[in-house]
Each structure stands twice: as C-alpha cells, then as structure tokens.
Structure 1
Amino acid sequence: MNTKHLLKKLPSCLLGAIFAAGIASTTMVQAIDGNPPGLFELEGNTIDSGAPGTDWGALYGGATPANLITYTGVIADPAPQTIYWKGGSKDINDVPDWWQKDGSVPDKDDITNAYAAAYNNPADVCLTAGGVAVLCSDATAVGDPVHEAGDLIVYFGLDRYANSGDAFAGFWFFQDDVAISGSQFTGQHVGRVGMPGDANYAPGDLLVLVEYPQASGAVPEVKVYEWDPLDLDGDNVANNLDLLITQSNAECDQLGGKLACAISNLQDLAGEPAWPYTPKSGSGLPFESFFEGGINVTQLLGGTPCFSSFLAETRASRSETATLKDFALGGFDVCGADVTKNCEATINQVGDQVDVAFDGTAVNTGGLALYVELEDDQSGSMIDAVCFDVGGDGCDAGDAVPTGLNTLPASKATFTLGAGETVRYEGSYVVTQFDDQTSFTDIVSLKFFEDASDTVPIDTETATATCPPQGTPGIAVFKNCINPNIEDGDTFIADIVGTVSNTGNVKLVNVMLSDTVFSFGDLTVVYDANENGVVDGGELAFSNGGDLAAGEQLAFAAAVSSGTPSHTNTLTASGANFFDDTDTVSDNDTASCTPNLNPDLTIVKVCDDAIGGGTGVQLVVDNGQVVVEVGNIITVSNPGNEDLTNVSISDSDVQTLVKMSGGAGLTCSGNSCTGTMDNGDVVVLKQTYRPDGQNILGALSNPSGVSFKNTASASGTGVLSGTPLGPLTADAICELCACPDCPPEP
C-alpha cells in the first residue's frame, strides 16, 4: 500500500471558476463516459454492451485494458459484516474517529459488493465548436483540452441488497492506508496543501457523494469534495470538506457535458452480475440495485494524488453530516511500481572469488510518474546502467535513459519513471568472503517517491534473486614408481613421484594427502609452479590441510628403501569445495614396482700350480713315508646384483679349506665354508689333500699320465628374491709331475 499522497501536479486551466465557486458548474466538459476517452462503459449494467471501453464484468473476469492502472476487484460485504457505529462515524470526521462492528442496517443501505478502477487517460480530449468530444489532434477541435493525457480517471460502483428506497452512497478515495483494527479504523485523511497552481500544492483525499432518488423522472446528483481541514479557500460547506463541484443532472448519457456522472440500472438485469450476488427478492439485478459512476480526478483536484485505499459507504441522507450506515473497504493503489531481478554468478580463475552480474526491470505500474531510487543490498554492489532496452539485448550506447538518471556506476540509481514505463537495470558485485551461511541471495529494492525532494517513500518494492556459483570440485591423483634398483645387494630402492591436481572450477580447501605406506612427513610435497610434475628446488612447500586453487597442482616425491624386492603403495587426496565445505571430493592412485633381480653364483677350481707359485701335485714325507699331496685353488664369486645367503662351499676330498681372500661373511671349518656373500664378493680358498690308496711306487716308476681329480661345490640363496643357486660344482685334474732328473719312461 502507498503511504504518500501526491506524485505529480498537473495544471488545469479549466478549473479556476469551479474551485473558486465550489458549487455547480455549467462548464461544458465532455463526460468521462464518452468516446473519447472511451475507457469505460457507464450505461447502468455490468456487462460489455459494445460501447467503447470496459465494464465491470470484464474486469472481474480478468481483463486488463491497456490504460487500466488498478482495480480493486469485487469487494464482498455480506451481512452482517462491517457497519458503522457510534456518533463520530461521519464523513466530516477524520478516519481515527470512525468505529465499526458487525450488525444490521436497513436492507436498502446494505452493501453487498463494491468496486473501483483507475485509468490513465491516453490522449488529450478537446471539444468541437458544437460541444462534441474529439481528440485534440482532430481538425475540428477547438480550445484547450478538457481531458489531458495522463489524467487520472476513476470509476466506482456498488450493488445493494434491496432497492426499497432512495439511494445515498459515498465513495472515499484515501491516500493513506486505511484499514480496520478491532472496532476502529486505522490510517488518516490527507488534507490539501496550498491551492491549485501553487508550487507546493498537493490535493487532499476525495469524497464522491451520489444521490439517486426513486421518484419518477428523477436523475442522480453527484457532489465531489476534497478533504481540506485548513479550509484554505474559506468556503468549506462542512467541517473539513470543501465542495469542488455539484453535478445536479449527473446521469451518465455517453454524450458529454458532465465532469462527473453516475447511473443506476433502471430495469431488472437478468443474468447479472458475474460475481456472487443474491438480492432480497427476485433474481439477477433488480432495478436500482446497482450504481456506478466516474470522475476525472486530475481535472477536479488540479493535481493527481496517489490513492491507496477505497471505501464505498451508504448514508442516511444527502447531507455532509449524515449518519453513515454500511461500508466496504479495500486497497486501491493508484501509484505503484514493481521490480524484478535475475543474477548470474561466475567463479574466477583461481576458484575463490565470485563475480555476480545482475539485471532486471523496474516498472511503473501506476498511472503517475515516480521518482525512483534503485539499490542492491550486497556490500560493494554497483548499479552499472539503467536504460530503455529497445533491442532486448541489454543496455548499450544506443538505448535512451530515463529522465534525471544520475551518473553511473553508483551504489544507487535515481531517476524519474513515467507512468507505465519499464526500464532495464544492470549491476554487479564481487563476493570474496564466504562461510557456511553464504547463500548467494540478495535483494534489490525500488523506492518510489512523490518527487526528488521527498524523504519518505510512497512505498518500497523488492525483488530477490538467488544465484549460487555453479562450482564443481574435482581432484585427481597420478602416481608412479621410477628407477627401481638394488642397493648394496640387499636393499630395494626406488623413487615414488606423482601429482595431485585440482580438476574442478572451485578452490579446494583442507586438502589432505594420505598414503598406505608413507606418512605425510615421508613425502616431499610442493606447489608445482611450472606444472612439470617434478619436485623442483625453490618451489613452495605444501602443508597438509592447505588449499589448492582451481587448475593448480601439487608435485610429490618419496624414496623407497626396503628389504622386500617389490613395492606397492596407494596415495589418496581429498579436499572440500571452497564455497561449501560439506561438498568433498577425493581420488587415489597406486604405484607398484619391482627391481630386476639377477642372483648369481660361480665356482672355479684349478690346480695350485695354475695360480702360480704353487706345487700342484707333489710328494711329501709324512711319518717316514712318501705320500702324494695335491693342492687346489677354489674361487667362488657372487656376480649378481643381490647378496646371497645360505652360502655353502665344500670339497669332496679336502680335509681343510683355508680362505685366502674375500668371503668376509663365510666361516670355514674342515672341508666346508658357510655363511653369506655380498654381491660382487669373490672368495678364494686353498685346499690340499692326500689321495688315499694311491700306488705311489707305481706312480713314481711310471709317472706319465698319472693325475688326481676331485670336485668342489658351492650353493646359496638370493637374499631378496629367495632364488636358490646350485649346488654348482667344479673339478680340477692335477697331473703328477716327475722331477727333471728322472729317466724317461721306457
């Protein structure tokens, strides 16, 4: 509802005599039921009958004529609802003095329904020399307009329960929000300020009294009053009421000559009205059960008030101080505006800022020009443009702007919006701070005023738009195991490398890395500035639980050092949507690798003389006897890439193996050595033996072709692979070598 009363002040060159006299006027002004203006049918029924304009039945059915400003709808007032009571309830008293209750009134004064409609006059209407209404653009038009484009014309009506007597009705048009609270009325009258033509003039509330006698040939009388508690022109006809005009022959006739008119149904109307109605007797609308009328408000008041409420009443008589009977009350917003809003949120490249662009329309839904203030409630919000968007493609250089538009961008747009005008507005703001309560919903408000000098708005309309950013979080893990190798023959080493990438369009917060093998401290994790997937020197370290911008990635690395000849680990990364920490994503990847294991073992056995410096086979004296003693060298090597365990070296005939070099992990006892061998280790063993049962004498007598053979063996197991090696054997055949002085063999 509107709380202010005047929006624009229109000059009226025709009303000086009317306002000066305050009595009946003989000025010939085309009736508001004529054509032009052709806005409404005032012919005493409720249905469209082919005359120019709309009728109540069409409005009730949902018709929205082009020049319609507002329509109350059919305000039902079934008995015994809402009647006046107490002595202060008179038209000469202010609204707070009125009282109401449920109760009964005479049937002829019982209002069943009431209605009103406001129209914006579309064009200047003039008269011909013969007093016929024509558009002022017509060649036959003479004089000044009698109805000016933009004039506020209101139509009103009611139906009553019974037609058994004269009808005395009143129609109040309030500028304040008049309503009922308990037994009393709320709101108050708005009085005239100044006189028509004054710079500060503002009209007061309007009362239209209609008397429709039932005498034969009687015609209605219409009186129009303005609420003027200061009696500024000194001619009030009653307390607070200034009589503007009396139309003594005020029946609407579609011909002209009346500034205000009224009419009743002078015959029964079958099948009417379209809305629920039951008369006391008969059916349809019995004669003189329906009353309607209209006035040109702007021309009568010399200005155009912003009506907010409408009241129809029945009265005891034509007197200004008559007792009031029944009433029907409803809203009647002549001045109004509406605002719509759309918005779109775009996430920035990093994914931690939202740029919101909004637009919408501001519409003057009333019949009067409005001074508008348009503002968005988001911090830092700016109105960037306001225009008449002719092409429907947004405000651009070719679009006109409304009157008085301030310099934009600005936090608030101010301008004048003409009756019925629609403008597009565009604005923007940035959101950088978020929490769980951030809804990305904001409100644009449209305040409208009488003019730029007013500080209290007529009303404020708002529009809400919600546009959460369409953020899609995403995360991807890539993991690899590279450079698998064996170190020191017993340790598997490798490098674990990989990346964690933000694949969504929003920043991820609380990014956590966890691994099935490594703790986070085992990992080197950096922001991969050059996006090469490698941990490079100088790159910023990442702390677990940190943030990862949209499109950004981490590089990580870890070192494997294990006594197990294979490695498998899984790294999992997770994070939460920057805009909604309940929206989480995660991904994982597994790396597996094994080294190329080559366990190996070799054994070589030669006669001692093959090494050099040895005697090979020789004769030695032992306890007075000459015996053969054979000397061998055994070389056992680990040429593989892993250490060997369970190593065993032995000889079939030897009594004692003696380490000459290497074999730090071997322990020798008797004819065998056991223990371990590192990769690359070479052990050299020396051994001698004395063949038992050898025919020494025969050998000495014929040494040619005499040789001695024995076998050494070696075995072991790969320490990492567990691969068994051997037993491997090696033989050495050592020939008996005679002394040089021995005679040749025969």
Structure 2
Amino acid sequence: MSKPTTRFQKNAGRVLTLLLVAAGVAIPLIALSVNDETIFELEGNAVDGPPAGDDWENIADDRPGGPGLIAQNHSNVQTFITDGLDATDTAFTGGGSKDVNNVNQWQQVTSAVSPIKNEIGHAFAAAYTDPSNGHLLVYFGLDRSGSGGTAATGFWFFKDKISLGANGQFVGTHTVGDILVTSDYVTGGKIGEINVFRWIGGQKPLQVVGSTSTGGGFTVGDRYCLNNVAGQTTPMACAASNSNPETVPSSWSTYFFKSGSTFDPTNTFPARTFFEGGVDLTQIFGTGSTCFASFMAMTRTSASTSAQLKDFALGDFALCDMSVAKACKVEAGVSPVVNPDGVSVHTNFTVTFSNPSGGTLRDVQLVEKLGLGGTTGNACKITAVDLGSGGTAANPATPLNTNLVKDTAYEIANTIAGHSSVDVTLSCDSLDNPLLNIVEARAKTFVGAGDPDLVRTYQMKSDDDVLDECVAPTNTAIDVTKDCVGDKVTLVNTSGGMKAHACFSIEVTNKGNVALKNLVVADPKISANSLVPTGTTLGPAGSATDSILLGDTDHSGTIDAGEGLCFDAIAPDNGETDTDVAVFGNRVDVSADTAIPVPSFPNPQTDYATDSCPLCK
C-alpha cells in the first residue's frame, strides 16, 4: 500500500489536468471521468498505487471498523461482500434465474459451489462524484476463486431493497431504472466486451444504453472502455482485469483460490481472477434519479441477457436510500394511557425518516396506512417535526394538530441531507391497545421528479417488542354490594298466606380505569332476567357513570323507605324455625366485559355479593 494521498494532492492533479486542457496541450480523453485515476484507480488491481485516486484497498475493508480504519476513503457510499465457499455459499438455480426475468422469478440455493471459473470470493462497489462536472460515477468489481476459459460477469444496481427469502426465493422486485452491467472474459482472460442496460419493464425489459456490439470499444493496457456515443466526450463505462498476479489487500478477509481439488488461501490474485469496472450514471440518467438500494455481483455463462446466472454476492448499496421506523413514546401518565372515556387509548409515536446515503432526499412525505376517522375509532395528528441538523422545513408547512386521512401524503420535510434523519411526532387515539399499523415514507431522489420514486414502509407487529411498550397500563375491577333495606323483613298477608317481604339495594361499581360494557346483574330470587337493560355500560372509576344503584326508584342516589328490589318468601333460609336467627337472603352475581382488550384480565370481569334480612331485629 502506498503512502495515503492528501486531498490537496488530488485536487492539484485535477487542476493540472484542467490547466493543460486550457493551454491547448493534448491529453487523452480517457484521462477523465469514469476513467480518471485521480478519482479511482481502475487499472486491474486492488492496491492503492501512485495515482491520487482511491482503490479497493481504501474502501473495501472487512476488518472490524470497516473502511473507517483507512485514512483515504472519498467515496459517497461503498459496500464490500465476502462470499461463502462452503455451507454458507449461495448461488443461482433454476431456469428462471435470468436477467430478463423479474427478481421474484429468480431462485437461489445455499451450500452450492459454482463451477470454479464462476465462483465469487469477494464483491465490492463504491460511488463517487466527479468534482469537475458533477457526474455520478459508480465502480464495482469481484474476484474469482478460479480462472481459465471464457467467463462472464454481471453487476446489478437495484432501486428496491433485494434480499434472500424463504424456500429459495428472492425478496424484492425490479424497478424502472435498475442498471445492469455485463462483461466477458474472452479466451485468455482479457476483457473484450462491456454492455450497459437499463430495466424498463414490459416484454423487452432491458434497454441497451451502451454496448461493445453497437458502438465498439478501445483498450489501454488492461483497461477496456466503451466508445463514446454522439455528444459524449468521456467513456460511459470502463473495465479492467489483472493480466499478472496482483496482491490481495491485507485488510481483506482471506482470498481462496482453487488450483487443484481444494480451495487454498493465498495472498495473490492469479492472472485474470480480479475484475473491476466503472460506469458514469449521469451519462445514462442525466439529472434523473440515480437512487439505488442494493448491489449484486454475479457470474454467468455469457454477457448475454439471456445467459444462465451462476454465483452471486448480494449486499446493500445505499447510494440514495431511505428507511422509516415507528416507535411508541413511553412517558408515564402521558403515553400510552387509557383516555378519560375508558374506551380509547392515547399513544404518542416517533416516526423516524432516515437517509443513510450520501444523496439528498426531497419532498419527504408521511402516509398513514391505518384506518382513520368515521367508525374506525382511530384518529392521528402530527404534533411536531424535529428536522435535526440535516432536514429543511416542508413547503408548504406540515399541517400540525390536524386529523390525518388514511393513504394521504403529508410532506414532513423539503429535504433530508445524506446521513441524517428527521423525527415526526404522531399523537393517536384508538380503540386498540396497543395500536399497531403500517406507516409509509415517500421521497423524491432528484430535482424535477414527478411522483416520489422512493417508497419505504414499516409495520408495527404484535410479535415485536412494541407489544410490551405500546400497551397502555390498565386496571380492571368490578365491585358489587348488596344491603337489606330497613335491616329487616316485613310481614305481608298475601293470597298465598303470610309471607316475609325482603327488600335489597344492589350497587355495582367500576373501580378500574377501563369502561365496562355488557353488564349483567343476576339475582334469581328477584328476577329471572338481568336486573339491568341489555347493553348497560359503566364508565371508568371517577367518572359520573362509574356506578349504578339498583332499587333507587326515584334516582335520588339513596334508598328511601318503600324503595328497593324485593321478593316474598314463605320460609326463612334453610328452613330455620328459631325466629331470633331466621333470615331471608340471597346472592347477586355480576359480570361485564372491558371496553378495551386487556390481555392479562380475560373477559368477563365478575364479582358477587350476598346479604340477608333478619326476621326479627
């Protein structure tokens, strides 16, 4: 590794080049842009050499701490992947694994070693901005654990997040604007072809952007570049492979090469096992979207788009990415809490919009996917926006303290700079405890974009930790008391003879913070039916409706003479004949359901009470 080059040296080299051009000194056109070694050394090895630009040694570092351990790393974003060789290795399988098919038609299998010339050891990618013209340059590469014969490589840059799913599937899909670069190692291992495609969908989903077959190319040393199309003064894409053995950077994980029957560690890349390339995305998109989220390096049977795909290495590539997360704000007595009505829960949430990439997100929007308003019982409002150090205020301003509408986009920031985040506070009232839902984030990745071209979602699930922290504390208790009115029975002469007339008051009280519904009061000696109407509800403790006094016929709040719930009996309880101890009593049972689900207290809530009226007092 050479001595780290300073930013001054890099800029000095660029200034010298520009001065030479201004003075009329002839220099090769290939010295600039994607082929500019003052930005990145595209020369067929991974070790940082004399040119001022970065190399893979600088940015592809899988030691603990990663690229941050290297003094020189000027990339906007980078990724480095160590591919497996054993039970952890993944490879393509099935006839549907072709570039012309959508990602969800591809299939993968674990613990599969590809044909030796197709076996990937490492894969890597990085993005840079050319300070001379603002062009976005993306570099990529891989090393193989074998060599020989004709082989081909391919590199996908996806706008969607691509990951491995269950049952050999891939998760994610192609998006218009995905980029594919393919290249061939011709006989002898030298690069002889580069093709650049853009995914457009439809019956012919891959659009040729640049290709050796249509425009030809030129070679300088180990470097091969596409010829320029009309109006372009710099190559759209270049690639290089090592014609001689090259050193494996010491910062990398072990490189294995198979020369016999086993994979052996080595500190040297044998000839034609290392491949790197670069593409000028600005030449492809102009000022359009250059937002990518995932990177895949692959080997294949040929550079053709219908080639069968072999080995692959997949990783994140947050060139322009966004994530969204939603979490409860837990504050005792404030959130989450049961509302005073006892039937709804108030919860404050923090929705975090993060930009992990180096690019700028524009017109960032929040969309609630929760059913809101009407009969849903749900209502949410944006109460605050914290722009942090990297956000700028929405224009027009974000509507605060206004009920949100489901599936409606609300702008929460005009821009979010790279590597920064914005927090939005939502205040919601709901009949659910906890309130779980999906929130969506939308953003534009370039000036002049129509609809947002970047969409991310976050779903709060009951099996996440949120179930514990988002549940509002509840306490439920139903209480019933029963008292003999007048403290004794009265004797009445009826057509059936002399009977004891016993009257009682019954009071049912909700002592919890959750309303109780579907109240049933059962006293079979007084009535065969519930003593309260169907659908009777008790409000939470402390409310005006937290209790009901049965037998209070004039609703004065007390049991006066002549009031109560009464029944007549011809004999004391248990047939008692001693008038001094004879009593007439019974039991009342109550039950009710909580208006808010309370997992630790299954419905119904129950209680009972008994009392007796003496014959004599």
1:385 and 1:366, CA in 2 relative to 1: closer, same or farther beyond 3 A?
farther
- Pairwise mapping of residues 221-620 of structure 1 onto structure 2 (< 5 A)? 238=212, 248=220, 262=240, 264=242, 266-267=245-246, 269=248, 274=253, 277-281=256-260, 283-284=265-266, 285-288=268-271, 290-293=273-276, 295=278, 297-298=280-281, 301=284, 302-303=286-287, 305-307=290-292, 308-313=294-299, 328=312, 330=314, 333=317, 334-343=319-328, 345-370=336-361, 371-380=363-372, 381-385=379-383, 387-390=385-388, 401-402=393-394, 406-408=398-400, 409=402, 410-411=404-405, 412-414=409-411, 415=413, 416-431=415-430, 440-450=435-445, 453-455=449-451, 457-465=453-461, 467-484=470-487, 496-515=504-523, 517-519=525-527, 542-543=532-533, 546-551=536-541, 552-557=546-551, 558=564, 566-567=582-583, 568-580=585-597, 582-592=602-612, 594=614
- How much has 1:329 moved relative to structure 2? 6.2
Aligned residues, how many?
Answer: 483
Q: Counterpart of 1:341 in 2: which secondary structure?
A: strand
- How much has 1:271 moved relative to structure 2? 8.3
Structure with the larger helix share: 2
String of CA shifts for 1:477-507, please: whole Å, max 9, x gaps.
2333353357579987775334210011112
2:424 partner letter:
Y
Contact 2:152 2:301 in 1 (8 A): yes
- How much has 1:368 moved relative to structure 2? 3.3
1:246 and 1:269, CA in 2 relative to 1: closer, same or farther beyond 3 A?
same
1:269 and 1:376, CA in 2 relative to 1: closer, same or farther beyond 3 A?
closer
Cα RMSD, aligned residues only: 6.0
String of CA shifts for 1:127-185, please: whole Å, max 9, x gaps.
xxxxxxxxxxxxxxxxxx3375xx65534222223355798766454668999999xxx
Give me the whole-angstrom Cα distance separating, in 2, the residues matched to 1:443 and 1:268: 49
2:146 partner letter:
A
1:169 and 1:500, CA in 2 relative to 1: closer, same or farther beyond 3 A?
closer
Residue 205 in structure 1 maps to residue 209 in structure 2 = no
Give me the whole-angstrom Cα distance separating, in 1, the residues matched to 2:603 and 2:209: 75
1:592 and 1:177, CA in 2 relative to 1: closer, same or farther beyond 3 A?
closer
- How much has 1:419 moved relative to structure 2? 3.3
Q: Indicate the residue corresponding to 2:143 in structure 1.
A: 159
Contact 1:82 1:100 in 2 (8 A): yes
- How much has 1:422 moved relative to structure 2? 1.4
1:386 and 1:221, CA in 2 relative to 1: closer, same or farther beyond 3 A?
farther
Provide the identity percentage: 17
Contact 2:488 2:613 in 1 (8 A): no
Give me the whole-angstrom Cα distance separating, in 1, the residues matched to 2:199 and 2:500: 105
Structure 2: unaligned runs, 5 residues or longer: 1-17, 22-26, 49-53, 225-233, 329-334, 373-378, 462-466, 493-497, 552-563, 573-578
- How much has 1:227 moved relative to structure 2? 5.7
Residue 25 in structure 1 maps to residue 29 in structure 2 = yes
Give me the whole-angstrom Cα distance separating, in 2, the residues matched to 1:147 and 1:349: 62
Give me the whole-angstrom Cα distance separating, in 2, the residues matched to 1:175 and 1:316: 24
1:52 and 1:499, CA in 2 relative to 1: closer, same or farther beyond 3 A?
farther
Q: Counterpart of 2:256 in 1: which secondary structure?
A: coil
Q: Counterpart of 2:81 in 1: which secondary structure?
A: coil
Structure 1: unaligned runs, 5 residues or longer: 1-13, 18-22, 126-144, 192-203, 392-398, 526-541, 598-746
- How much has 1:555 moved relative to structure 2? 0.9
- How much has 1:345 moved relative to structure 2? 4.7
Residue among 71, 74, 92 paired with 2:79: 71
TM-score (norm 1): 0.50
TM-score (norm 2): 0.58
1:337 and 1:350, CA in 2 relative to 1: closer, same or farther beyond 3 A?
same
Structure with the larger strand share: 1
